[in-house]
């Protein structure tokens, strides 16, 4: 299928991801709206188009592509996609972050079908992905490994060790996507812990680097296709995004990194997602 045919569908799924995120944070319930909605479009393309072998009726398929959500605090976005793929019943969304529920506040491989790794302590996902990518290569598997990191997360030292390891072992079946939304938990990333020239830093460590607008569907699709074609080195896609994308009061606003919406904000979000779901995505 060409991009022109699939982009309207993927945009619609991006809207569904945002709608499901909002469903999980009714008024008064704290949740990571900002970092979940910034990655919604990338996750739409990964889960509903690009990744192979993602099948809730065959979860143990050894050749499935893996997605490790290293910025685990924003897992609402991943739950929002997985529910559309039938990994768990929709009723679970209302129980998110309650004691013993299927959907915990951070990704839990033992609790949630479709989750590939426990994350939440930032900085660990890429190391996990290195191991997965090496194991898949040993098994001659065609599967690829995707790691979603936050830009704030890059302050973790373990990431940089893992970046060198990915290159040292020529892990071309590995792709990192940095959700470059420029805001972290307590303020702009550039103020809290500035890391300038993220693309240049990956390059100097030996990575193939692609910089894109992380809300532009054609760019996301093309970047993932290009990454797959590159041999000998891993690829980093630096996806420039907007924290809180789609919800104007939350866009670029660190206050909505992890917050509870009031009634009014919740109703506004519901109006926005309902409009998104009704929009003709062919335009
Ligand atoms: C090791 C570790 N230190 C601190 C935290 C607390 N924490 C949770 S989210 C966050 C900010 C992450 O920012 P970023 O990676 O940019 O995520 P995004 O903006 O995409 O949500 C921090 C510091 C954590 N989860 N793990």
Confidence band, pLDDT 50/70/90 cuts, at residue 2: confident
Q: Whose CA is nearest to atom 18 of ligand 1?
A: 35
Whether residue 144 contacts residue 65, with contact meaning beta carbons closer than 8 Å, is answered with yes
Mean per-residue pLDDT, 152-161: 98
Euclidean distance between CA atoms 197 and 252, whole angstroms: 19
Q: Does residue 283 have a pLDDT over 90?
A: no
Q: Please, what are the domains in the chain?
A: 3-278 (3.40.50.970)
For residue range 116-133, list pLDDT tens digits in order.
999 999 999 999 999 999
Quick check: 112 and 103 in contact, CB under 8 A? yes
Question: In whole angstroms, what is the distance from residue 166 CA to residue 107 CA?
Answer: 23
Q: Which residues sit with their C-beta closer than 6 Å to ligand 1? A: 34-35, 38, 71, 73-74, 120-123, 150-153, 179, 181, 183-185, 189, 243, 257
For residue 1, what pLDDT band results from cuts at 50, 70 and 90? confident
> pLDDT at residue 96 above 80?
yes
> Which residue out of 69, 121, 150 has the highest number of ligand 1 atoms within 8 Å of its CB and is therefore the one to mutate?
150
Alpha-carbon span 82 to 74, nearest angstrom: 14
Query: What does the alpha-carbon distance between residue 200 and residue 95 come to, in Å, rounded to a whole number?
Result: 42
154 CA closest ligand 1 atom index: 15
- The pTM assigned to this predicted structure is 0.98
204-258 pLDDT, tens per residue?
999 999 999 999 999 999 999 999 999 999 999 999 999 999 999 999 999 999 9
* Index of the ligand 1 atom closest to the CA of residue 151: 16
Looking at the CA of residue 36, tell me the nearest atom of ligand 1.
21
Beta bridge partners of 210: 237
- pLDDT band at residue 192 under the 50/70/90 scheme: very high
pLDDT averaged over the chain?
97
């Amino acid at each position: 299928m060409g991009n022109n045919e699939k982009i309207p569908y993927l945009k619609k799924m991006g809207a569904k991801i945002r709608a499901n995120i909002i469903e999980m944070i009714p008024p008064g319930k704290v949740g990571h709206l900002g970092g979940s909605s910034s990655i919604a479009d990338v996750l739409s393309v990964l889960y509903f188009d690009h990744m192979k072998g993602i099948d809730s009726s065959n979860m143990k398929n050894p050749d499935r592509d893996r997605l490790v959500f290293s910025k685990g605090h924003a897992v609402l976005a991943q739950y929002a996609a997985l529910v559309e793929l039938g990994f768990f019943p929709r009723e679970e969304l209302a129980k998110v972050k309650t004691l013993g529920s299927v959907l915990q506040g951070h990704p839990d491989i033992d609790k949630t079908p479709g989750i590939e790794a426990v994350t939440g302590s930032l900085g660990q996902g890429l190391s996990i992905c290195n191991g997965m990518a090496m194991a898949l290569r040993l098994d001659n598997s065609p599967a690829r490994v995707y790691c979603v990191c936050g830009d704030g997360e890059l302050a973790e030292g373990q990431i940089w060790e893992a970046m060198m390891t990915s290159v040292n072992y020529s892990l071309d079946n590995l792709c990192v996507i940095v959700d470059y939304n420029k805001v972290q938990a307590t303020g702009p990333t550039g103020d809290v812990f500035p890391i300038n020239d993220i693309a240049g830093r990956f390059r100097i460590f030996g990575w193939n680097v692609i910089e894109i607008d992380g809300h532009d569907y054609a760019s996301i699709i093309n970047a993932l296709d290009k990454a797959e074609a590159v041999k000998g080195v891993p690829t980093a896609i630096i996806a420039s995004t907007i924290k809180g994308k789609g919800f104007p009061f939350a866009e670029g606003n660190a206050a909505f990194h992890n917050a509870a919406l009031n009634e009014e904000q919740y109703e506004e979000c519901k109006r926005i997602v309902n409009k998104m779901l009704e929009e003709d995505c062919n335009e």
